[in-house]
Structure 1
Amino acid sequence: MGEISDGRNRILTIGVAVARSGRLASLGDPLDFVTGLLEPRLAVLGPTGYRIRLAARDTRSSADGARQAVQELAQDENAKIILTLAGTEVLPAVADTCEAIGVPCLSSTFPWQVYYYGRAADDDHPFDWTYHFCWGLDDIAGTFADLWERVGGSQQTVGCLWNDGPQGTWSRHPQRGFAPAARARGHRLLEPAPYREPAAELDGHVAAFRDAEIGIVTSAATGRDLALFRARAGEAGWQPRLITCSRWLAYPPSVTSSGRSPAQAGVATLVYWTPSHPYRSSFDGTTTAELAEAYEQRTGRQWLQPLGLAYALFEVATHALTAADDPADRRCVADALGRTRLDTISGPLDWTAGPVPNVATVALAGGQWQQGTRHDYELTVVTSGQVDGLPVGGDLVSAYT
């Protein structure tokens, strides 16, 4: 496909692969919102002589849909770079397809070890076209260890509720997972056999933790499986003092239609973006608080952590197009991504610093879903962790008070 022009400027297209149907549709909301928010602004922010346009395709919450979305964005829309967020199967499918056909890709919300090593890169053979920013499994372990030590001191025994999918498998990885980083902090992990997702029953895990007098449980379970675990624990007359969980908990829980508390209530989790983070947009100085407020005003829904990462995708993509030696050449755009250093609304991102080629890291803090004032449950920052200048909003409390 030839270059597109509006008569005055050549057009640079940023492609967006986003779930708008299927089981991950709600996970696509932040990226869909930011796409609509920034589309008119980005038109005038490109390199001299160019205008930026956005084109989106629905991944349909599946790997096949993701591959088709990339093909359409690359071929039909002539996208110079493709952006995506979220999905254990979808995100790698987007990135792998971009790598295969030679289109720059930028993604987030996926622990970097899973993104990098899980897609068969290694320290000697990095990717040519695909770039990512996120936290690592080791960062999650360090954040959770901070929380465990707040309730029980050093050298805790922690029960691990792992599934047999990518989340559990990579959490257990002996060199690059969550588990070795947690053990390096002096904690002992009790790891029953992983369960098949979705879980049919978790009685064996409950019994193992109860019999070992475990006070802390950690997991990467879905909300559904976490609810099942908590229900079975209650039926067995046992409850941990604290649950830490890294998956699905970026999205606000709410009281169920039956009036029962959601599975996430009182659960501690990682915090990577809030309206209180001390960051601003590289476009126009928009603050984290202003972005969160815009989302709530326009959608009528509670702000979401992935909003900041979704916004930063466009910041980095626009920067790469502007910094590229030839913004119409995909190879030049990919090279520009690899040398990007940029302060964004999600914090400073630096692809020249590693930890591996193709990856920049995001700082983590620790939080907990507690009953709120404006919403049923609000994410309370209980430890600032790696984030300089992030205010702490409350104390860590027992999940069962």
Structure 2
Amino acid sequence: MEPDPQLRVGVVIAQTGRLSRLGDPLAFVLRRLTPQLAHVRNGNRRLPLRIAVRDSQSDPTHARQAVRELAAEEGAHIVLTMAGTQVLPAVVDTCEELQVPCVSTTFPWQAYVHRPGARQRKRFEWTYHFAWGLDDIAAVFADMWERLGPARTVGCLWNDDLQGRLLRHDRDGFAPVAERRGHTLIDPGGYREPAADLHAHIDHLRRHGAEVVTSAATAADLALFHGQARRSGLHPRLITCSRWLAYPHAGVAGSCAADEGLAQARVATLVYWTPNHPYRSSLDGATAADLAEAYQRDTGNPWLQPLGLAHALVEVARHALAEAADPTDRRAIAQAIARTRIETIAGPLDWTSGPTPNIALVPLVGGQWQETRHGHDLAVVTNTALPDLPVTADLLAAR
């Protein structure tokens, strides 16, 4: 009797380069879950499983090569990836090209669907994603602006790349949601990343009376804006930012605490996972708090928001292999992902009811980096989309 075939999960992680800090949660999750992933039960079969990892080197060219190696050399039945506005699209596009099922996360779904080279509203056959939308970010940010009073005049610090164009999108973007809430958006036009001088943008916002500033800037560009704005006399009552500030480390480049002025700005941001989220792992029943505690204990680093999504990636892969009509057939695995509805440590994921066929949504709430005796803490200040998550602090206006 022939032994059962081995199933193989390929993982593309940024182990080196500028995104390596964001690769840490997925690397940790793989180490933590390895004993539970030795086999997958599919019906009456108990199939051996191996995980193969490749380093994207935080670069799209290397990311594409990593997928090719996983597909050809490792024979991966499914590929997992997360993080990187250029790296993630490179991985999923290569998986689509090679007809390898792929699950990804940490990227607004509009940027996933409308990424360069993808036809608008195309139904991808092989690649699946879970995250939130730019419209969800707008709703959360509007909740926080409105804590300061009714409709605000909001300055937009958005770049001139795909991200900025999608934020402005008249159907799927951030702008129409915010405007429907009664807010007036002041958009001085996009800037090139990395920014060298934002005085022209600041002058425009000051002339038009911007009370609040919203952005999707890197921490370095936001720090530049904040310093130049204060010296120019622009003092917004609140800054909301959806990019790197969603998961900083104190004292690390890309964090709110890496720039003293920005650290005191009380930047508000999106929250998609915390140790207090009321969810459990479908693999072993571990809670969000259990996972965060294990990460901090084993790595010596504070928990990161992507930790919950990294764990959910592995949960989805195992579920797809367990539920596929033939777990050794890539098309059958892709079909299993398409019909997946699963409770994960990052919350319920449902690919049968997303905004597009290949998307499952993750709810967002509002958070703010507030000073504590031990540095800074990400406080939950609004919970409209997830009322079971406790609010831990009041929103504070900027100093």
TM over 0.5: yes
User: Structure 1 runs of 4+ off > 6 angstroms?
Assistant: 256-259
Matched residue, 1:13: 8
Aligned-partner SS, 1:244: strand
Matched residue, 1:247: 243
Letter in 1 for 2:296: E
Letter in 2 for 1:32: A
Aligned-partner SS, 1:274: coil
Matched residue, 1:298: 298
Label 1:17 to 1:46 Cα distance change in 2 as closer, same or farther (>3 A).
Answer: farther
Instruction: Tell me whether 1:42 sits opposite 2:37 in the alignment.
Output: yes
Which one is further off, 261-270 or 220-229? 261-270
Out of 135, 159, 177, the position equivalent to 2:132 is 135
CA distance in structure 1 between the aligned counterparts of 2:165 and 2:385, rounded to whole angstroms: 26
Matched residue, 1:55: 52
Aligned-partner SS, 1:127: coil
Matched residue, 2:22: 27
Instruction: Tell me whether 1:363 sits opposite 2:363 in the alignment.
Output: yes
What is the correspondence of 1:192-341 to structure 2 with a 5 Å cutoff? 192-255=188-251, 261=260, 263=262, 265=264, 266-341=266-341
Label 1:391 to 1:267 Cα distance change in 2 as closer, same or farther (>3 A).
Answer: same
What is the correspondence of 1:379-390 to structure 2 with a 5 Å cutoff? 379-390=378-389
CA distance in structure 2 between the aligned counterparts of 1:256 and 1:74, rounded to whole angstroms: 35
Aligned-partner SS, 2:77: strand
Shift in Å, 1:188: 0.9
**Contact 2:271-2:367 within 8 A present in 1 as well:** yes
CA distance in structure 2 between the aligned counterparts of 1:333 and 1:365, rounded to whole angstroms: 32
CA distance in structure 2 between the aligned counterparts of 1:107 and 1:283, rounded to whole angstroms: 19
CA distance in structure 1 between the aligned counterparts of 2:178 and 2:234, rounded to whole angstroms: 24
Shift in Å, 1:37: 1.2
Shift in Å, 1:259: 8.6
Relative to the length of structure 2, the TM-score reads 0.94
CA distance in structure 2 between the aligned counterparts of 1:171 and 1:101, rounded to whole angstroms: 30
**Contact 2:11-2:80 within 8 A present in 1 as well:** yes
CA distance in structure 2 between the aligned counterparts of 1:193 and 1:185, rounded to whole angstroms: 22
Matched residue, 1:74: 71
Shift in Å, 1:389: 0.6
Instruction: Tell me whether 1:161 sits opposite 2:160 in the alignment.
Output: no
**Structure 2: gaps (5+ residues):** none
CA distance in structure 1 between the aligned counterparts of 2:258 and 2:183, rounded to whole angstroms: 37
Letter in 2 for 1:139: D
**Contact 2:15-2:23 within 8 A present in 1 as well:** yes
Letter in 2 for 1:219: S
Shift in Å, 1:8: 4.9
Instruction: Tell me whether 1:111 sits opposite 2:132 in the alignment.
Output: no
Letter in 2 for 1:213: G
Relative to the length of structure 1, the TM-score reads 0.94
Once the two structures are superposed, what CA deviation does each residue of 1:32-78 show, in whole Å capped at 9, x if it has no partner?
Answer: 11111112211134432302211100011111011000001111111
Matched residue, 1:394: 393
CA distance in structure 2 between the aligned counterparts of 1:118 and 1:255, rounded to whole angstroms: 33
Once the two structures are superposed, what CA deviation does each residue of 1:86-139 show, in whole Å capped at 9, x if it has no partner?
Answer: 11110001000000010000000000011012252444x300000000000100
Letter in 2 for 1:86: A
**Contact 2:227-2:261 within 8 A present in 1 as well:** no
CA distance in structure 1 between the aligned counterparts of 2:11 and 2:195, rounded to whole angstroms: 33
Aligned-partner SS, 1:226: helix
CA distance in structure 2 between the aligned counterparts of 1:92 and 1:256, rounded to whole angstroms: 26
**Structure 1: gaps (5+ residues):** 1-6
Shift in Å, 1:254: 2.1
Letter in 2 for 1:18: I
Aligned-partner SS, 1:348: strand
CA distance in structure 2 between the aligned counterparts of 1:229 and 1:383, rounded to whole angstroms: 26
Which one is further off, 86-95 or 159-168? 159-168
**Contact 2:109-2:129 within 8 A present in 1 as well:** yes
Shift in Å, 1:295: 0.5
CA distance in structure 2 between the aligned counterparts of 1:177 and 1:75, rounded to whole angstroms: 38
**Contact 1:10-1:49 within 8 A present in 2 as well:** no
Aligned-partner SS, 1:263: helix
Letter in 2 for 1:50: L
Once the two structures are superposed, what CA deviation does each residue of 1:201-244 show, in whole Å capped at 9, x if it has no partner?
Answer: 01112112222222100000000000000100121133111000
Aligned-partner SS, 1:360: strand
RMSD: 1.8
Question: In the comparison of the two structures, how many residue pairs are matched?
Answer: 392
